[in-house]
Structure 1
Amino acid sequence: MKQITPAQLAAWLADAAREKPQLLDVREPWEFERARIAGAELVPMGEIAARLDQIDPARPIVAICHHGGRSLQVAMFLEKNGYNDVHNLAGGVDAWSRTVDPAVPLY
């Protein structure tokens, strides 16, 4: 599992030559409704194990949460379950809002 900064993720998403990662937002639905990164898919942390079939092991994955703690746990869980290209968004949506996209609300 690799850490990725918001700036690195923004550059990756802007790079047309790179395969786009699956943006896996592991927060709760109310958090996702309040603030989200465009293109992210909501799969709350408590539902990950039951919804592994919705996570493509052939694609790179970026796990996202509020500050990076829950997503780190999910990223480690995915690696233990055979996912090889897993990244954790360091600082989470909060850091994304502060450094990449201030239009994403802080909460």
Structure 2
Amino acid sequence: MYEYEISAKDAAEILSEGKARLIDVREPWEFQVASIPGSTLMPMGDIPSRAHQELDPDERLLILCHHGARSLSVTHWLRQQGFDAAQSVAGGIDAWSYDVDPGVPRY
């Protein structure tokens, strides 16, 4: 079983190996300001209506928000729904910008 949180650096490595899918749960305006190539925008409020239609419960899902609070909440919900491989990116896109890719704008 995966931990509930994963560091931005570890998430980047797993994504570069094609071993996970990055789900961005921020709002569309936030996604326009800063996003990670290849991520799927699925705002937190849309998760309950979209998760079972668009996400695979057997796939490793890395959940991203601004600082990590929303993504952790979504990760807990997904785990309760049977998405056992969902993990929150600790520190969110802010940590990603700081630790992985300084080209991603901070806001």
TM-score scaled to structure 2, two decimals? 0.92
Deviation string for 1:9-45 (max 9, x for gaps)? Answer: 1221233xxx521211000000001101111100000
Paired position in structure 1 for 2:11: 9
Determine the C-alpha separation between the residues in 1 that align with 2:12 and 2:28.
23
Paired position in structure 2 for 1:95: 95
Determine the C-alpha separation between the residues in 2 that align with 1:25 and 1:46.
12
Paired position in structure 2 for 1:32: 31
Question: Is the 8 Å Cα contact of residues 9 and 100 (structure 2) preserved in structure 1?
Answer: yes
| Identity in percent | 45
TM-score scaled to structure 1, two decimals? 0.92
Determine the C-alpha separation between the residues in 2 that align with 1:41 and 1:14.
15
Amino acid at match of 1:51: R
Paired position in structure 1 for 2:40: 41
* Runs of 4+, deviation exceeding 3 Å: none
Deviation string for 1:43-76 (max 9, x for gaps)? Answer: 0000100102111112100010000000000000
Determine the C-alpha separation between the residues in 1 that align with 2:33 and 2:56.
26
SS in structure 1 at match of 2:32: helix
- The count of corresponding residues between Structure 1 and Structure 2 is 104
1:27-106 correspondence to structure 2 within 5 Å: 27-52=26-51, 53-106=53-106
Determine the C-alpha separation between the residues in 1 that align with 2:79 and 2:12.
23
Determine the C-alpha separation between the residues in 1 that align with 2:14 and 2:82.
23
- Give structure 1 stretches of 5+ with no counterpart: none
Tell me the C-alpha RMSD between the 2 structures.
1.1
